[in-house]
């Protein structure tokens, strides 16, 4: 970058000393720590040494040997009962001898988060096996007036869920009406409807597909026998059989990365291993919902036509949209009561 041209419109000026800007913004440590009831000097000393640990000038073991007793004296039970990330059972970063000598408890930080009281709409991400807020009924509202039929949702879905050839959880059904020049086009994106009365769940002989508390219809890839009865039963054609095909001809190592669908990481895609030979479908990106993120199709929609939210919360945006006079569901006469609504 040439500095002589001076700042260009719309281009950030990084000619200044950016590090100094950071220092300007940083609060004074002594001032901040003095606001608490705890020992300010201890805090400053621990922070300074922690920086040395991260620079590699001090070992983590030495750090904890130096501060374990002081911290226990200062924080008491709160220190003893809180798991220390450096001796977390799954991913310990300090050697066993020092870890054993320390007085704080062993466990994962996740287990602490689990015990915290859920506060309203907060998203406590990272809690194992627990859906986001815990009591949502996820629903989607798709505004057909805003949909331009760009198929971004279909593409985003394939990229997010790494679906193989022939499997496409989301498609856009396109229909042209009228004759030139009076032509209109209707684009109807079709994810899984996550029906309240799902016919697929009703027919599965091994209960491999079932409704979760959050309204999403799950498929247990470890239980599914691949009989495809659910595909016969689905009135929306939303289920796809995984024939084991791959994009290897198009992309090298296409199967190396898979999506942790329903929160289960299955590692690399392999022949004969689930989900090959199973029936697959849209999960509302459960793995993203659990992280407090919107499904990929919702996030990517260029016209903001897709909305995700809690249908059990009458004040949520999706509830209000689903209640509007423009709202309808696909094949309402089937009695399936989809959790995907459309706006005319």
Partner 1 sequence: MATDHSRFEFDPGFVSDRLRVAWYAFVGVLLLAGGYATYLRITRGMASTNLTSTTPWGAWVAFYIYFVGLSAGAFLVSTLANVFGVEAMHRIDRDALFAAIVSMVVALLFVWTDLGRMDRMYHPFVWRQFTSALSWEVHAYVAYIGVLVTELYFSMRYDLARVAERGSGLRARISGLLTLGRRATTEASRAADRTWLKRAGVVGIPLAIFMVHGGTGVLFAVSKARPYWNSGLFPVIFIVSAVLSGTALVLVLYVLRTRLFDDEPVDRDLLDQLAKLLAAFVVVDVALTAIEALISIVSFHPHVVETWQIIAFGEMSWSFWWFMVGFGWVFPLVLLSKREWRRTPWLMALAGLSVVIGIVAVRFNIVVPPQIRPVMEGLPHGSYFPTAVEWATSAGMIAVGLLLYTIGAELLPLTPLDGGDH
Q: State the Cα–Cα distance between residues 208 and 45, nearest whole angstrom.
A: 55
Q: State the Cα–Cα distance between residues 192 and 171, nearest whole angstrom.
A: 10
In a 3-state reduction of DSSP, which class is residue 43?
helix
Structure tokens at 98: 């020092």
Q: Is-contact 342 141, C-beta < 8 A? A: yes
By CB under 8 A, name the binding residues for partner 1.
Answer: 166-167, 171, 173-175, 188, 190, 199, 201-208, 223-229, 231-237, 239-245, 271-272, 274, 276-279, 330, 334
Query: Sign of torsion, CA 95 96 100 104?
Result: positive
Least Å from the CB of residue 306 to partner 1? 18
Is 245 or 248 the residue whose CB approaches partner 1 more closely?
A: 245
Is 46 or 188 the residue whose CB approaches partner 1 more closely?
A: 188
Is 67 or 210 the residue whose CB approaches partner 1 more closely?
A: 210
Is 16 or 333 the residue whose CB approaches partner 1 more closely?
A: 333
Please list the alpha-helical segments (H only) found in 82-190: 96-101, 109-115, 152-161
What is the widest separation between alpha-carbon atoms in the chain?
Answer: 82
Is 79 or 236 the residue whose CB approaches partner 1 more closely?
A: 236
- How many degrees, rounded to 5, is the angle at CA 81 between CA 79 and CA 87? 80
Least Å from the CB of residue 268 to partner 1? 17
Least Å from the CB of residue 82 to partner 1? 41
Least Å from the CB of residue 166 to partner 1? 6
Is 167 or 216 the residue whose CB approaches partner 1 more closely?
A: 167
Q: Which of 207, 234, 240, 209 is nearest to 338 (CA)?
A: 234
Least Å from the CB of residue 276 to partner 1? 7
DSSP letter at 28 equals P
Q: State the Cα–Cα distance between residues 218 and 192, nearest whole angstrom.
A: 11
């Amino acid at each position: 970058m040439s500095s002589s041209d001076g700042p260009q419109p719309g281009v950030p000026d990084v000619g200044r000393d950016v590090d100094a800007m950071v220092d300007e913004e940083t609060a004074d440590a002594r001032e901040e720590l003095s606001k608490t009831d705890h020992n300010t000097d201890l805090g400053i000393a621990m922070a300074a040494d922690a920086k040395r640990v991260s620079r590699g000038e001090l070992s983590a073991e030495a750090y904890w040997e130096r501060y374990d007793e002081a911290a226990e004296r200062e924080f008491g039970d709160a220190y003893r009962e809180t798991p220390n990330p450096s001796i977390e059972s799954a991913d310990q970063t300090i050697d066993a001898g020092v870890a054993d000598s320390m007085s704080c408890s062993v466990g994962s930080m996740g287990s602490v988060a689990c015990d915290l009281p859920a506060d309203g709409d907060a998203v406590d991400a990272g809690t194992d096996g627990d859906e986001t807020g815990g009591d949502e009924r996820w629903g989607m509202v798709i505004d057909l007036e805003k949909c331009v039929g760009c198929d971004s949702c279909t593409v985003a879905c394939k990229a997010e869920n790494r679906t193989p050839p022939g499997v496409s959880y989301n498609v856009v059904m396109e229909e042209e009406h009228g004759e030139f020049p009076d032509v209109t086009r209707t684009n109807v994106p079709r994810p899984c409807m996550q029906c309240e009365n799902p016919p697929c769940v009703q027919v599965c002989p091994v209960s491999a597909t079932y409704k979760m508390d959050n309204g999403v219809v799950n498929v247990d890839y470890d239980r599914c026998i691949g009989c495809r009865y659910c595909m016969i039963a689905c009135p929306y054609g939303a289920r796809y059989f995984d024939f084991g095909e791959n994009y290897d001809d198009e992309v090298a190592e296409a199967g190396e990365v898979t999506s942790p669908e329903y929160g289960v990481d299955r590692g690399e895609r392999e022949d004969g291993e689930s989900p090959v030979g199973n029936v697959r479908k849209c999960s509302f990106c459960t793995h993203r919902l659990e992280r407090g993120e919107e499904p990929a199709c919702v996030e990517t929609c260029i016209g903001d036509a897709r909305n995700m939210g809690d249908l059990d919360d009458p004040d949520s945006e999706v509830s209000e949209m689903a209640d509007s006079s423009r709202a309808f569901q696909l094949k309402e006469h089937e009695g399936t009561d989809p959790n995907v609504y459309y706006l005319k």
